[in-house]
Structure 1
């Protein structure tokens, strides 16, 4: 799976839908309208590619709505955000786009509000934490589509060989267990991927475990907070400095860390639901627990969502709204989430998944979603801040690293970007 959490993040594990008029009609229900859907691919092969999901869903929608057609094109996550960006710049904004960030388009007044599109029941059904994460200036423009949370994965076989009876619950447990794993010859006792692929995700997970985060309670950047400085000093001195990561974190990407885990070379690491499928395919006996914190479990875990948004340019509000109500029906949300190892973004679909033992391995991730913390995607400054984090945080925990100095540099960049945005 080519994704932030993946990546959701990521990056954010993150599917783009663009719906563009290619037929006649005014968008008011007169005549036929064709909505073009550009979607990102969540699959890892042609057999389970997202094209199959969307084609089936589109045909089912068209059968119930004879006056609306949906034409689907699927792009890789490498290309899909840029595809939508180019369409908008060229004056051909899609009707709908589901991509990694919505704030720039909302700030430019290019998007419909959620309440202009969805039925009351559909809008009210979004998981509250996700609905809030989709707000720009307290108004929801981003509709969550596919979510994930993070837990600590550990290799049960390696733990048993090292004499570790229980998974870690705190930082001191992590350090102790990593020492025991190292003594047994485990290549990477704790995998710490702070390479350029998804540094912003691992950084946020550790910030949350230390009681901090990217922002404070009112949304102001607090990257250089005392809690964050303490967290990365601990990583530098007590984990990386003692050789417990097995490799330079600045050179380790998420994908490689996951590969190390499924190859049996990693004792523990932070991961998202898709790692379960990868581990099971390689016969790895694994467990998951909530992220450890300073003195016990972390205050919250990281959540990642991708975003659906509707552009105003083509004026197809009614048709887009009908399609979105269909997309967010329980049946379709559960089907998509189950197929790609993601979490439902609506309360009713989440309850349905929690009640189904078929999805038991996702239940631990799903129960965390209500209190998960997300990237500050509502800020137009976030893309630049994320890019800066990717460039600098890995070196901060290295032998010559200066966590406080790096966090202050990133804070200054964030403040400048926020001020420039007004």
Structure 2
């Protein structure tokens, strides 16, 4: 998931000032991995709640190590990490959301990844890139997330559609057909405005060849490809194919079940929600790759595992992270959480290798893109959120809105 909290700039500045003097890493491993010790771990959301069980299993094979897991809500995670960094009290191991790893790496609060232990080639490229800042890896990929197209197959037949839309042009035609011939209220659910609307826009942006930042961190959000993507996105609102009213906390699965919404872009957790909450829908929906523009490209999210630069228990921390991120640990974690493995070897056996729905996510992850890590990433993406809102509400053209976002982002990345 793309977990983000709007950074408190004053707190971050304070944290940066303090941590830069306190951190940077001792370079040594400190306490031996098999010495008697307590390893402190912070993990967020559902992962934080479920990691304690895995830690107990780990402890059975490592009797000298006690793993103390503290679950933290994503809504307060950023604030707690900033406060702990400022006080010099970060835990040994931290789960990092994809949107703020760059911020803490920039502070000097994170230990660089040992690339002899953790190999880049074992993970999806986008997952590894999310843990990399200024050319150096600071996070080991733990789980990944991407978006694919969910669509109602039974309503597609009523609409005269054969299979999933293959191109972006097909997608808009399908949305209209669902409304006109199958009687759905909307054609496609996409977020019109508000916090993290950019996540809904990414499949359109990336498939068109656009980006928010290029690989060097330079803003390119008003490129011709990006403008074309936002024009396409805004067209759904202009034509009444998508709801332009932003509803915080909106649960698209309810409207998907009722047939009011026949298509939406969603992550892997949506599969479980639909199966558990609407078993009567079984056989009436499917998933497909993001319809192609220049290519079929979705966004990559997820989380990395990081080590505090000041931890005296780096050796044990590294060993615990290796346990969580090797193929066996990743397959086990999927069974516990349905989080998609970042380690590609975990996909070679069991349900991950045979399930047709999961195969769609696996294929999409191969081309998925992520934003390069940046200390001000949440502020950067908020400017794109604003541009999307201007277009969806008909207040601005795509070019005008993205020119404005480009200017604001350029000021942030100087």
TM-score, with normalisation over the residues of structure 2?
A: 0.85
Matched residues in 2 for 1:40 and 1:113: separation?
21
The ranges of structure 1 where at least 4 consecutive aligned residues each deviate by more than 6 angstroms after the TM superposition are none
* Aligned twin of 1:103: 102
* Aligned twin of 2:368: 372
RMSD: 2.5
Q: 1:217 to 1:99 in 2, by over 3 A?
A: closer
Matched residues in 1 for 2:118 and 2:233: separation?
45
Please show how residues 2-401 of structure 1 align to structure 2 within 5 Å: 8-9=1-2, 27-28=31-32, 32-42=36-46, 50-51=48-49, 53-100=50-97, 101-115=100-114, 120=117, 124-183=121-180, 184-236=182-234, 238-245=235-242, 247-248=243-244, 251-252=246-247, 255-281=250-276, 282=278, 283-284=280-281, 285-294=284-293, 298-352=295-349, 356-357=353-354, 359-376=355-372, 378-401=373-396
Matched residues in 2 for 1:29 and 1:9: separation?
32
Matched residues in 1 for 2:76 and 2:37: separation?
26
Deviation per CA, 1:69-95: give whole Å up to 9, x if none.
111221222223322222112221111
Deviation per CA, 1:205-260: give whole Å up to 9, x if none.
21012221223354422100111111222332x32111111x215x1457433432
Q: Higher helix proportion, which one?
A: 2
CA contact (8 A) 1:195 1:252 kept: no
Q: CA deviation at 1:351?
A: 2.5
* Aligned twin of 1:17: none
CA contact (8 A) 1:168 1:174 kept: yes
Equivalenced residue count is 384
Matched residues in 1 for 2:202 and 2:57: separation?
40
Deviation per CA, 1:46-75: give whole Å up to 9, x if none.
xxxx53x32222122222222221112212
Q: 1:374 to 1:338 in 2, by over 3 A?
A: farther
CA contact (8 A) 1:170 1:294 kept: yes
Deviation per CA, 1:177-232: give whole Å up to 9, x if none.
22222223311211111332431211222101222122335442210011111122
Matched residues in 2 for 1:210 and 1:307: separation?
28
| Secondary structure at the counterpart of residue 385 of structure 1 | helix
* Aligned twin of 2:20: none
TM-score, with normalisation over the residues of structure 1?
A: 0.83
Q: CA deviation at 1:374?
A: 0.9
In structure 2, runs of 5+ residues without a counterpart are 6-29
In structure 1, runs of 5+ residues without a counterpart are 1-7, 13-25, 44-49
| Secondary structure at the counterpart of residue 42 of structure 1 | helix
Matched residues in 2 for 1:368 and 1:171: separation?
16
* Aligned twin of 1:47: none
